[in-house]
Amino acid sequence: MNLFDVRSNQALYEQLAGAAAGGRLCHAYLFLGPEGIGKRTLARSFAAAVLCRRSGKGEPVPCGECGSCKKLLSNSHPDFYCYEGRRGANAIHIDTVRGIRQDAYIRPNDGEYKVYLIPHAEDFSIGAANALLKVLEEPPRHAVFLLTAGNKNAVPETIRSRCIQLELYPMPEPALAAALEELAPQADADQRQMALRRSGGNLGRALELLNSENADDLSRLCARIGEGICRMQEYEILTAMTEAASGKDSAAAKEQLGQVLGQLSQWIREAMLERLAPGSGAGKLAEELAVRLSLSQLEQVQLFIEEARRGLSGNANTGLLANYFTAGLMALL
């Protein structure tokens, strides 16, 4: 039984729930993956399975019916701790971990286990990491530690080596499309398709895109640039790219321009596939690109888009990059 929505990591959830049901638990797990991929939700779901009164008895967990499951759902379980402090480098202080460590050696209040969920393990200070290491080296039998991190290499190796490391992966496109249709019924089909393509299989990211205030604006910008390429309208491409490169700050501008370039890259890939296998199911704009541009041109445009995306990942000025991209694109057309 799922107490939380773990559809983006269903297979891994079932493995973890099975381990809890059979009493095959390790003392520490590290969930790895980008923001929005579902690390924290999966960890909470696993915690529910561990704390369920049926845990270790070979029955399906969590049951959703016992007192433990109900307490976890209501955020009142005495044996479940989740760090809710501030974010950033060294944000998880040694005093916080000392408190966790001290509590871990006290017997559970309500069942067989205590579970400690610490998101963003890359935020440990050196002192905090060393303090946690002590309890990971000699853990109490009843304590289970669940850590999450977006950047594996930012987590101290001494911590990583004492955890079961679990990588979370993007959802397959059909599953993500079905999830968006259910979870974002207010969005139209075009908006959901745009979010699906720009999210990279990340359900949390896709929902964020659909719920963002500028989701419609980004969709229109992408469409203007795509249509400008089909009609070779340099001014239309330039004005749309310049608008995409603007933002409240440089980080927002880079994020927005990156999303636009990502969508263009997706359309070009679909157009290439349509060229190679007509009737492949490409969208309307990708079909038009396949008609207007040769396979060689599409390949060159794709390489140029990837070059622009690499520039964006550095210190490139977004306004200058928009101008450079437009000029280079027209030269290829």
Is position 194 within any domain? no
Is position 179 within any domain? no
Highest mean pLDDT among 75-84, 200-209, 220-229: 75-84
Is position 300 within any domain? yes
Rounded to an integer, what distance in angstroms lies between the CA atom of residue 66 and that of residue 10?
Answer: 22
Residue 214's pLDDT band, with cuts at 50, 70 and 90, is low
Domain ends where: 105, 137, 167? 167
Domain ends where: 106, 137, 167? 167
Identify the weakest region by mean pLDDT among 109-123, 204-218, 253-267, 308-322. 204-218
Are 154 and 256 within one domain?
no
Residue 57's pLDDT band, with cuts at 50, 70 and 90, is confident
Report the CATH number at residue 289: 1.20.272
Could you tell me how many helices (H) and strands (E) the chain has, helices first?
15, 5
Beginning with the edge strand found earlier in the chain, give each strand of the sheet holding 28-32 in spatial order: 80-82, 114-118, 143-149, 28-32, 164-167
b vs e for 48-74, b when ≥16 Cβ sit within 10 Å of the residue's Cβ? bbbbbbbbbeeeebbbeebebbebbee
Least Cα distance to 49 among 58, 65, 31, 61 occurs for 61
User: Structurally, how many domains does the chain consist of?
Assistant: 2
Mean pLDDT of the chain: 87
Range of the domain at 160: 7-167
Rounded to an integer, what distance in angstroms lies between the CA atom of residue 215 and that of residue 212?
Answer: 5
**pLDDT score of 267:** 85
Report the CATH number at residue 92: 3.40.50.300
Q: 271 with 299: CB under 8 angstroms? A: no
**pLDDT score of 2:** 64
3-state helix, strand and coil shares in percent for the chain, rounded to the nearest 5: 60, 10, 35
pLDDT in tens, 221-253: 888 898 899 889 999 999 999 988 887 778 788
Domain ends where: 111, 143, 167? 167
Rounded to an integer, what distance in angstroms lies between the CA atom of residue 233 and that of residue 245?
Answer: 18
Q: 143 with 34: CB under 8 angstroms? A: no
Is position 104 within any domain? yes
Report field, pTM of the whole predicted structure over 0.75: no
Rg (C-alpha) for the chain, rounded Å, is 24
User: What is the percent of the chain with per-residue pLDDT over 90, rounded to a whole number?
Assistant: 46
